[in-house]
Amino acid sequence: MIPSKVHAVLDYLMGVILIAAPWLLGFADNTATTILPVVLGASTLVYSLFTDYEYCIVRMIPFKAHLTLDFASGVLLLVSPWLFGFSDRMYLPHVILGATEIGAVLMTKPKPVTEAEKV
C-alpha cells in the first residue's frame, strides 16, 4: 500500500508530468489532446495543495475526497481519446497516465498515517 505521504509526492509529480507531457511527447496542438492533460495536471496541483495530507498548504479537502478526484481524473484521462475523438491521432500517453493515476489510487491507504500509527 502507498502511504499518503508518498501519494502526496506522486500527486505533485503527476501534475507536472500531465502539464508537460504534450510538449515532451510531441502532441501539443491546442486541441483536447493537449488541453485535457494540462487542465487535469493543473487541477491536480491545486486540489493537492488543499488536501488534508502531508505537503499541503491548507487542509480543506478530505483525503478520501482527494482520492475520488484522482480516480475520476484517471478515468477521464484514460477514456479521453475515444470520448473526445482523437484516438486516431494519439491515445497511448493518455491511457498510460490515466491507468497510472487509477493504479495509484487503488494502491493508496485511504487515510493519512497519524502520529500514533507511526510508532
Each residue of 80-118: pLDDT tens digit?
999 999 999 999 999 999 999 999 999 998 875 555 555
Residue 108: strand pairing partners: 2
pTM score: 0.90
Beta strand ranges found along 12-87 (DSSP E): none
The pLDDT of residue 19 is 98
Residue 47, pLDDT score: 98
First-last CA distance in the chain: 18
Picking from 104, 24, 31, 46, the residue whose alpha carbon sits closest to that of residue 71 is: 104
| Helix, coil or strand: residue 2 | strand
What pLDDT does residue 117 have?
54
